[in-house]
Structure 1
Amino acid sequence: MNEIKRFIESELKRCAEFFPIVTILGPRQSGKTTLAKSFFSDYSYINLEDPEYFELAKNDINAFFSIVKTPVIIDEVQRVPELLSKIQVIVDKEKANGQFILTGSFQQGLKSAISQSLAGRTAILNLLPFSIRELNSAGFDFSKDEFLYQGFMPRHYSENQPIDLLYRSYFQTYVERDVQTLLNVKHKNLFEKFLRLLAGRIGQVVNYESLANDTGVSKTTVTEWISVLESSFIIFKLEPYFENYTKRLVKSPKIYFYEPGLASYLLGIKNPEQVSRDPLVGNLFENMVILEILKAQFAKGLEKSLYYFRDSKGFEVDLIIADGRTIIPVEIKSASTYDKDFSKNLRKFCEFAKNSLSPTVVYSGNLELETEGIKCINFKNCGNLID
């Protein structure tokens, strides 16, 4: 099968031309290594998952760099963050751009180490699993339910790995290895229960106390677990938008998954037909649409600038895309038949949010139109909102 082109490639090329180091962050199996090795095919390659390289890097940095010849790709650099100080010394001496391509799948400790050692020396890009636009450009075109069931992991599309095996393996590997390493979880079954509870609350305002009670752990533990899940690209938060429209606004974030297919797996969905019957289909669809827009931002090297709006009376707009001083309000509906009521919250919001631009409804139908200044588009085109 031909390699699927990643839309982030042009930004990757630009960053390598102007920075001595490019750091690519993203979930495990999102395609970071494939992208780096194919785009920088003449670079040497070091994988810190390899025990031999790991031990050498951990125990003798000078010996490690005696065998590492630049330009080089160093995979999973978060495993030995101590390397970053030495990399700083090397790039300051060599004064050449594009010398190091670093990848990492855990951002908490890595971002802290980068800010201390590599400030001003590295560009940071975020690579998530395939976007709908990337898959469409490669000839993969599926329905809403099929996308939500199978997700976007490259291994499924490049190796035709069965969905049930892919997510079972991903889930088990993450819980049994990564989480044990990061958290030293004593009761693995409780953490598994917690992940499934989170999947059942996609798109809901997070309630730490309720999650703690339902899982059977402390609120402090829930807070710590969410932090690690966020840092390791399993979940992300959508923060509420504030613009002094009213003092009575909801202030807690919502939780979404970086991979809708994993969320469907955790909910026990076993085929595309079950998706449309699942009571959370609207939440899953909302997750996918927000994620597609986030992928479009990351592909351009932009920081996440997505929010939601809700006041204390329950009035809500699903998504706010901040673009400088203007915002794009977005309503997300999983229905496939257009209804003029889809835009009523957008009209109300735009009455008091005068910095609104291009209010848009995203739904699963094929009819695309604009009426009374509000656009209605198919979900496969929602990434275009960032263009």
Structure 2
Amino acid sequence: MIERTLTKKIVALAEKFQVITLTGPRQSGKTTLVKAVFPALPYVSLEEPDIRQIALTDPRGFLSNYPDGAILDEVQNTPDLFSYIQSLVDQNRQIQFILTGSSNFLLMEKISQTLAGRTAILHLLPFSFAELEQGAQSFDDYESLIFKGQYPRIYDRALAPTDFYPAYIQTYVERDVRMMKNIGDINTFIRFIQLCAGRTGQLLNYTSLANDAGISPNTAKAWLSVLESSYIVYRLEPFHKNFSKRLVKSPKLYFYDTGLACSLLGIRAAQQVNSHYMKGALFENLVINEFVKRNLHHGERRYPYFWQDSRGKEIDCLLVDGEAILPVEIKSGKTISNSYFANLSYWRHLNKLPDSAGYVVYGGEQSLQTSIGSFISWRELDQILFLGSD
């Protein structure tokens, strides 16, 4: 088992909370992680129909089988259990429940009603660069990593991305989407996901997306919320604090895993990434995902921002911590070019910052400090010490 960064945070919070809730995409490693951290607790999968039926029809009797607590997997399938768990932890300060779920919307809705203040909530995404490196997984180039993605099962079972991701989407649609609201034609919904993949790294235009999918803008917004709540996509919000110029207010769209995005785009080999029109956007997505994971896997639910003004000047990624702002430009090119600093220089001037402020993450192998700033190889993002750093 590749050790997960989140392990340390889970162990620390379990000493303070009787209920730990771990959410994240399907097959991101939640079950493996909680079984390893809490080996003494019995494990129960609430996706098994017979077990789920007992929990639904006799929740009190079901929970009586676990006097010391349990790991309850995919617990959003049995919403009535939450009230009974609340009662148990209020009566018994020694009992421990670990709840996992892949549907953030259904899970958080029930938690807010019954377990608010009683549970710590953590989020587990697919492997980070650091976790893959620790597990002795290496890549000759970033195109291979973009294509393969970072879901644990691919590495654990040595699965081909072309086998894993179509099955993943099918499972996601059959198990998760049908539980959600606002989903009518499943084929149209799958087409909608594919259209989202083609908009990776772009400003989100609901009307355009809806027109291309053949649905209404309100339906597009509802379906996008479904994709967000089940950890398929996320929106990167624009940063507009303390600026007087006209700024873009629309968010950008990204996928939690680039391998999944590649599959939806019809990319069937790592070599195709190199010449694909979405290469730059996929590389940008790959790098931003690492900053998202750095935060979430340290228990910090914070996402980066981007910045863009009406003249087209843009910073791909802003890492924000209170009043501190760290700008990061992301370029898929593998050869160092001073032109990569054009937007950073504009940002520095606007904010009256020194020439050394910020970084350019690029597709090359060597990190380098120059007179106009720091080039950081995609392999060495740990050199950008900021949010979530140890």
Could you state the TM-score of these two structures normalised by the residue count of structure 2? Answer: 0.95
**What RMSD, in angstroms, separates the aligned Cα atoms of the two structures?**
1.6
Question: Is contact 1:292–1:383 with CA below 8 Å preserved after alignment?
Answer: no
Residue in structure 2 matched with residue 364 of structure 1 by the alignment? 363
Q: CA deviation at 1:211?
A: 0.8
Corresponding residue to 1:122 among 115, 119, 123? 119
1:151 aligns with 2:159: no
CA–CA separation in structure 1 for the residues paired with 2:383 and 2:100: 27
Equivalent residues of 1:245, 1:353 under 8 A apart: no
Supply the distance in 2 between the matched residues of 1:106 and 1:65 (Cα, whole angstroms).
22
1:139 and 2:136 matched: yes
Q: Confirm whether residue 166 of structure 1 aligns to residue 164 of structure 2.
A: yes
Q: Distance in 2 between matches of 1:22 and 1:229?
A: 24
Alignment of 1:1-387 (within 5 A): 3-96=1-94, 99-142=96-139, 143-183=141-181, 185-353=183-351, 358-372=357-371, 374-385=373-384, 386=387, 387=389
Q: Distance in 2 between matches of 1:244 and 1:11?
A: 34
| Unmatched runs of 5 consecutive residues or more in structure 1 | none
1:349-378, Cα deviation, whole Å (9 max, x unpaired) = 122235899511111112212234632211
For residues 255-277 of structure 1, the C-alpha deviation after alignment (integer angstroms, 9 at most, x for no partner) is 10011101000111111110000
The offset of 1:156, in angstroms, is 0.8
Mapped to 1, the partners of 2:48 and 2:225 lie a distance apart of 27
Which range moves more in the overlay, 313-322 or 347-356?
Answer: 347-356
Task: Tell me: CA distance 1:51–1:232, structure 2 relative to 1, closer, same or farther (3 Å).
Answer: same
How far apart are 1:383 and its partner, in Å?
4.6
Which stretch shifts more, 286-295 or 167-176? 167-176
SS at match of 2:68: coil
Output the CA distance in 2 between the equivalents of 1:355 and 1:88: 51
- Structure 1 residue ranges, 4+ long, deviating more than 4 angstroms after superposition: 354-358
1:200 is displaced (CA, Å) by 0.5
Structure 2: distance between partners of 1:91 and 1:384: 43
Which amino acid in 2 is paired with 1:313?
Answer: R
Which is further off, 34-43 or 370-379?
370-379
Query: AA paired with 1:121?
Result: R
What secondary structure, in the 3-state scheme, does the structure 2 residue paired with 1:18 have? coil
Equivalent residue letter for 1:288 = L
Q: Report the Cα offset of residue 181 of structure 1.
A: 2.5
The Cα of 1:96 is off from its aligned counterpart by: 3.4
Contact 2:295-2:301 within 8 A present in 1 as well: yes
What amino acid does structure 2 have at the position aligned with 1:56? I
Deviation, structure 1 residue 119: 1.9
- The Cα of 1:184 is off from its aligned counterpart by 6.1
Question: CA–CA distance in 1 between the matches of 2:182 and 2:51?
Answer: 24
Task: Give the direction of change, closer, same or farther, for the CA distance of 1:373–1:20 in structure 2 (3 Å limit).
Answer: farther
Q: What's the CA shift for 1:335?
A: 0.8
Q: How far apart, CA to CA, are the structure 2 residues paired with 1:299 and 1:323? A: 16
Q: Give the distance between the partners of 2:164 and 2:293, measured in 1 at CA.
A: 21
One-letter amino acid matched to 1:141 = S
Question: Conserved in 2, the CA contact under 8 Å of 1:107 and 1:232?
Answer: yes
Structure 2 SS opposite 1:367: coil
Q: Structure 1 pair 355/175, CA: closer, same or farther in 2 (3 Å)?
A: farther
Q: Tell me the alpha carbon deviations over residues 283-302 of structure 1, each in whole angstroms, 9 at most, x when there is no partner.
A: 00000100011111111111
Normalised by the length of structure 1, the TM-score is: 0.95
Distance (Å, rounded) in 1 between the aligned partners of 2:60 and 2:359: 55
Change (3 A) 1:355 1:109: farther
Structure 2 gap ranges (5+): none
Deviations 1:128-186 (A, max 9, x none): 01111111111111120100111011111011122111001001111233212313633
Q: CA deviation at 1:384?
A: 4.8
| Cα distance per residue 1:45-70 (max 9 Å; x no partner) | 11110112211111111111111232
Amino acid in structure 2 at the alignment position of 1:32: K
- Which is worse superposed, 27-36 or 180-189? 180-189
Give the deviation of 1:247 after TM superposition. 4.4
Which moves more between the two structures, 261-270 or 117-126?
A: 117-126
- 1:78 CA displacement: 1.1
